[in-house]
Structure 1
Amino acid sequence: MSLKHIFVFAIAVTAVASAQAGTTQLISNGNFETGSLAGWTSATTNGQQFNAIANGGNVPYSGHAVQANSTGGTFVAVSDQNGPSGQALLQTFTKTANVNSLILEFDWFDNTHAAFNGTEINGSQQVGRVDILTAAAGSWDVTGGVVQNLLLNAGSVTGYGTTIPWQHSSFDLSGLAAGTYQLRFANGQNSYFQEFGVDNVRLTAEVPEPSSIALLGLGLLCAGLVRRKSAKK
């Protein structure tokens, strides 16, 4: 291989490494600015499910008002109901082996009008939760399919007509093994209304900097120069 070819190869390797480095978003439509739940799977036990609604608007089933998310855009996702039921919003993501940092962030509120009383989200108990699930877990799984519970019954118990502020939460999921998972926002109610809001969901994967690959290219170049120099002696 000529010196010219070695130099071109080294530059190409470095360029590829740079293009592959940086951060990647693993969640699509996390801010619901499509005006829909595109990219998400919505599950319900009675037909009343999460909906993308106007930021600061009213939920469709109970008609209750939702406080605007000051850091949100035009739309947010909110669940509500007018009877015993369960609602879940899920999206699948994959952590690859080269990811060295995985950070989940989202805005949320859980406004329940009866006291929380369990862990089930199928409509048998009054619950709000956020989980990381296995890829094969069912929408209502709260046992073996739960890899990590992030929030459980952390909302506010209020009277009817009360709106509560949005909160921002962040979780370091870097310890997850490489594989495919589901992110789930869910709530269940067996007595009274409950509104669960979600917005600005970001799952940021960071891959290693290209230094090691770039150094490989530089090493090949240096090796070629040394070999060429030795051949001339």
Structure 2
Amino acid sequence: MTSPHMLAVLLLIASSAAAALAAATPLLQNGGFEAGFTGWTVVDRPGSAGTWFAHAGTATPLSSIATVGAHGGSTYAVTDQFNPGTHALLQGFGVAPGAASVTLDFSMFVNSYGAFAPHNGELDHTTPRAQFGRVDLLSAGADPFDTGAGVLRNFYFGIDDPSTNPHPYTDYTFDITPLVAAGGNYQLRFAAVETDFFLHLGVDDVSIDAVFAVPEPDSLALLGLGLGGLVAVRRRA
């Protein structure tokens, strides 16, 4: 009869193999902005005032208006401006075919000191009124300010409750598997447009993690070893 100690070892092997099969693969880099904008692209529409900042502290870098600061670590990304502007923050990523699940997570606040002005969702501060933040999954070739055919899915469009400025972070999680499981290249975009008064979009702890349906051969062998051992133990008991 196999000893309880050996049974514990076999259980550990099996559980370790199962964990290996379910391990998530990160698809984004520097999601906490601790390395500034490494891996990200900042684009400001021509004529914009202000931009994105990789920032530490609880006051915005230009206007010195209070925020809640970083969600994790010491740095977060935030927009700031003194006059109208449109700002996009993007990172491209690739997904190999066969992903069993792909999950987007981020934490964000949108502090607006002007009223929500949707303007059909267009990212253009030269229009009469546009005041909002938005988050989108874009096709690989989409323009940084595309709000049409290049948008594969919109995750956020609006502003947070102005009565709680500075607004706390809201944590967001989205299953994007149906959009990307076939594989390909995509872009994640955070964007803000401001024409009325200050708007500060802050984002931190951004991640896209994929779990793949086809495990590596080594993981399969390890799982088989653990499960086989457990079967043997049961037969001998």
Structure 1 partner of 2:231: none
Structure 2 partner of 1:77: 77
1:168 maps onto 2:171 in alignment: yes
- Distance (Å, rounded) in 2 between the aligned partners of 1:88 and 1:105: 18
Tell me whether 162-171 or 116-125 shows the greater mean CA deviation.
116-125
One of 189, 197, 203 as aligned partner of 2:194: 189
Please state how far the C-alpha of 1:68 moved relative to its aligned partner: 2.8
- Distance (Å, rounded) in 2 between the aligned partners of 1:39 and 1:198: 15
- Distance (Å, rounded) in 2 between the aligned partners of 1:152 and 1:86: 14
Structure 2 partner of 1:22: 23
Is contact 1:111–1:158 with CA below 8 Å preserved after alignment?
A: no
Is contact 2:134–2:192 with CA below 8 Å preserved after alignment?
A: yes
- Distance (Å, rounded) in 2 between the aligned partners of 1:215 and 1:75: 40
1:129 maps onto 2:130 in alignment: no
Residues 148-175 of structure 1 deviation map (CA, whole Å, 9 limit, x = unaligned): 001110422259xx41111100000010
The correspondence of residues 41-56 of structure 1 with structure 2, limited to 5 A, is 41-45=41-45, 46=48, 48-54=50-56, 56=57
- Distance (Å, rounded) in 1 between the aligned partners of 2:212 and 2:141: 26
Question: How many aligned positions are there?
Answer: 197
Structure 1's consecutive aligned runs of 4 or more residues displaced over 6 angstroms after TM superposition are 18-21, 211-216
Is contact 2:50–2:83 with CA below 8 Å preserved after alignment?
A: no
TM-score under structure 1 length normalisation: 0.76
Residues 63-97 of structure 1 deviation map (CA, whole Å, 9 limit, x = unaligned): 2121134x411111111111111011100011211
Identity of aligned residues (%): 35
The correspondence of residues 36-185 of structure 1 with structure 2, limited to 5 A, is 36-45=36-45, 46=48, 48-54=50-56, 56-69=57-70, 71-118=71-118, 119-123=121-125, 125-158=130-163, 162-177=165-180, 178-185=183-190
Residues 100 and 63 (structure 1 numbering): CA distance in 2 closer, same or farther, change over 3 Å? same
- Distance (Å, rounded) in 1 between the aligned partners of 2:84 and 2:159: 20
Residues 214 and 183 (structure 1 numbering): CA distance in 2 closer, same or farther, change over 3 Å? closer
User: Structure 1: where are the runs of 5+ without partners?
Assistant: 1-17, 217-233
Alignment-mate amino acid for residue 136 of structure 1: G
1:203 maps onto 2:208 in alignment: yes
SS in 1 for 2:177: coil
Larger Rg: 1
- Distance (Å, rounded) in 2 between the aligned partners of 1:98 and 1:74: 36
- Distance (Å, rounded) in 1 between the aligned partners of 2:174 and 2:93: 15
Residues 206 and 214 (structure 1 numbering): CA distance in 2 closer, same or farther, change over 3 Å? closer
Is contact 1:94–1:180 with CA below 8 Å preserved after alignment?
A: yes
Question: What is the RMSD of the two structures over their aligned residues, measured on CA atoms?
Answer: 2.7
Alignment-mate amino acid for residue 67 of structure 2: V
Residues 43 and 61 (structure 1 numbering): CA distance in 2 closer, same or farther, change over 3 Å? same
- Distance (Å, rounded) in 2 between the aligned partners of 1:170 and 1:19: 23
